Structure 1
């Protein structure tokens, strides 16, 4: 499937929140306590998304028909989770694929696309975090070649930090 990334605009905030809420519902049905704050998001989470949109870090992922099938946030720096780092890297957050498109390898395509773009920008690593309460997600990233290199405890949860060297 051919995918494209389209920058998310501030007028799309409601759609973004609805996508988070739908993902939280799906995760809840799997009996995993991850992203459940998106059901009734606290103001700091909404502000975090608004800042990401303003910084042009959020993208809708679209298929060849221009249908939104997911979204992702891509950062050049992630001080909250990773702190100051010396190696050039891209940081991934908020990666989600709409439920009706799950199981088609779209998440892998998104990760590969970001990795290829990061390589062109001479990044050494692709980095992301996964909530430690979601072992299925952690295994997914490990299967994609990410290695756990640490943890970060925040007020909401403890997160496993993963990186993949870009060769």
Structure 2
């Protein structure tokens, strides 16, 4: 992500593009035997509600082309249950397929870390499909530590189990 094109807060008007990008990635996952996301399970109306709350961030290569998106929330009891605590929870980190290999994922994770620290929170958390060793290894290389494996919340589909991961953040890092 060049410095000239930072992540910006998404608006409800971006919801259709975000949902379409997620569906594109879900279709790719299903086609490659990865049971993490399913096409159509995350409708634009839900994304619009979340964007209204300021939870989504996007980066566009141009005015019309959505390059990447990520959702940040501060609590996540659906996934973390009794271990839920204030943290920068990363959800829906997406990079358009045509932008793979440009290190955008790690730059988005750093954006999320900076945003989380700016709020005075020193922990990032996320979840990934337990049966996706490539993604688990990727997040491990980004400094996330596996905390535990658990059932996928019932409102989601695609995989049965997720691994919960967290990363301590140091101010100034």
TM beyond 0.5:
yes
TM-score of the two chains, using structure 2 as the length reference: 0.82
Q: 1:15 matched to which residue of 2?
A: 17
Q: Does residue 24 of structure 1 match 2:26?
A: yes
Aligned counterparts of 1:112 and 1:30: Cα–Cα separation in 2: 28
Deviation at 1:48, TM superposition (A): 4.2
In the alignment, what sits opposite 1:76? 74
Spell out, residue by residue over 1:37-94, the C-alpha distance to the aligned partner (whole angstroms, 9 max, x if none).
Answer: xx232xxx4364343122110111235x565311000011112112365754111000
Question: Paired residue for 2:121?
Answer: 123
* Corresponding residue SS for 2:26: helix
> What pairs with 1:1-167 in structure 2 (closer than 5 Å)?
1-2=2-3, 3-36=5-38, 39-41=39-41, 45-46=42-43, 48-63=46-61, 67-83=65-81, 88-153=86-151, 154-155=153-154, 156=157, 157-167=160-170
Extract structure 1 runs of 4+ deviating beyond 4 A. Answer: 84-87
| Structure 1: segments with no counterpart, 5+ residues | none
Structure 1 residues 97-120: Cα deviation after superposition (integer angstroms, max 9, x where no partner): 000111110000000111122223
Q: Distance in 1 between matches of 2:102 and 2:118?
A: 26
Against the structure 1 CA distance between its residues 108 and 61, is the aligned structure 2 distance closer, same or farther, given a 3 Å change threshold?
Answer: same
User: Which runs of no fewer than 5 residues in structure 2 stay unpaired?
Assistant: none
Q: Name the SS for the 2:7 alignment partner.
A: strand
TM-score (ref. length: structure 1): 0.85
Contact 1:87 1:124 in 2 (8 A): no
Give 1:133 deviation, angstroms: 2.4
> Separation in 2 of the partners of 1:69 and 1:86?
31
Q: How many pairs were matched up?
A: 161
The CA RMSD measured in Å over matched residues stands at 2.1
- Give, in whole Å, the separation in 1 of the partners of 2:84 and 2:27: 37
Alpha-carbon separation, structure 2, partners of 1:15 and 1:127? 25
How has the CA–CA distance of structure 1 residues 116 and 11 changed in structure 2, closer, same or farther, with 3 Å as cutoff? Answer: closer
